[in-house]
Amino acid sequence: MGRVRACFFVESITRRVGNQGAADVTLKASTAGDRGKEWSRWTPSGELTLRSMSAGATEFFEQVMARAHVPGQKPEVYLTIEVADEVDAASA
């Protein structure tokens, strides 16, 4: 069936009080530059909030944010969306 690859930027990371390592990470659709050109041809919009993640996942996004070399810059990430049953069958 294939997959969709979308480019998002990390808007914010908010650590959750009382839950070690957990955070809310908000991603928003990126339509700027060459990375977003192919998938955003028709000006998509989107927002995704990931909640109650593991400490490792939270640290990943914090490292992504730390890579922003310009104050206020929002680092971009790719999201790949695939049908779970097809991926599981292919790896079995």
Give the number of domains in the chain.
1
Spatial distance between the Cα atoms of 25 and 34, rounded to a whole number of angstroms: 24
For residues 16 and 52, is the Cβ–Cβ distance under 8 A? Answer: yes
**What is the pLDDT, as a whole number, of residue 16?**
80
pLDDT tens track for 21-66: 789 999 998 877 676 666 666 666 789 999 877 888 888 998 988 8
Q: What is the pTM of this model?
A: 0.76
Residue 46, CB half-sphere, CA atoms under 13 Å: how many?
17
Closest CA to 7 of 27, 23, 25: 27
Tell me the C-alpha distance between 40 and 21, whole Å. 33
Mean pLDDT of all residues in the chain?
82
- The SS3 assignment for 33 reads helix
Domain that holds residue 35: 3-91
